[in-house]
Amino acid sequence: MSEAQQNMDATFDHDAAISARAIVRDFEAGQQTIRVLHGIDLDVKKGELTYLVGESGSGKTTMISIMCGILWPTEGSVEVFGTDIYALSDRQLVDFRLNNIGFIFQQYNLIPTIDAASNAAVPLIAQGMDRLEARDIACEMLDKLNIGDQADKLPKQLSGGQQQRVAIARALVHEPKLVVCDEPTAALDASSGRRVMDLLREVAVAEDRACIIVTHDNRVFDLADRILVLEDGRITHDGPSMPEDH
């Protein structure tokens, strides 16, 4: 192990759900290189609902994409449940994500040709579960999200908020240890938004699990255990509630 690797290793919090160190991310824009993240150190603790909050363009989506193994950092390292994810092979990383992480993104990415229950069952089927058994479990999750009666409908027959709840069911159905969400309540009214956050807490937060949520939604800020504020690619606040000047 190199000296640099040893230094990096010493600084990881191996007991965290996510431990990110010195994360830099650059994007090429024409002739220019734009630095979007400026050396972020960040731990997401098990048993907590953590929010990542910040203005549009501050780097939130970039940061969570790096933390869950779908966007390589330009510099830095990320451990998820003690595994250095960018040291894995591509195949190992795909398997790691499938078995450990549930995603809820701004675009719901539902498969248009299959119904809501089959969409929600996708992670279980990918893990090898029998289709009918997977569908039953998916229907239970749709019920918890108050859209059990929409199970047989295609995505295009659902409203935006209903499609979002199918995407949420798909993220939670295989009970992943880490749930990563980008604006999960954006398309929902206030009471549905709080219900989703309650469900995320119920399913995604436990002694050995964690959930990190990017949100602008000040209607649900009081439901977080911990709030991180990102400004221009740097963490400027880390505490149990929003800073007073926001």
Ligand X SMILES: Nc1ncnc2c1ncn2[C@@H]1O[C@H](COP(=O)(O)OP(=O)(O)OP(=O)(O)O)[C@@H](O)[C@H]1O
- Contact residues toward ligand X (CB under 6 A) are 27, 29, 36, 54, 56-62
- CB nearer to ligand X: give 60 or 170: 60
Least spacing, CB of residue 59 vs ligand X, in Å? 4
- CB nearer to ligand X: give 181 or 203: 181
Q: How many residues are given for the chain?
A: 246
3-state secondary structure of 227: strand
Least spacing, CB of residue 62 vs ligand X, in Å? 3
Residues 173, 141: contact at Cβ < 8 Å?
yes
Pairing of strands 101-104, 18-29: unpaired
Phi, psi of 108 (to 5 degrees): -75, -25
CA distance 213 to 203: 14
User: Which residues make Cβ contacts (< 8 Å) with residue 49, sequence separation at least 6?
Assistant: 197, 200, 201, 204, 205, 211, 213, 223, 224, 225, 226
- CB nearer to ligand X: give 92 or 218: 218
- CB nearer to ligand X: give 8 or 36: 36
Least spacing, CB of residue 65 vs ligand X, in Å? 8
Least spacing, CB of residue 58 vs ligand X, in Å? 4
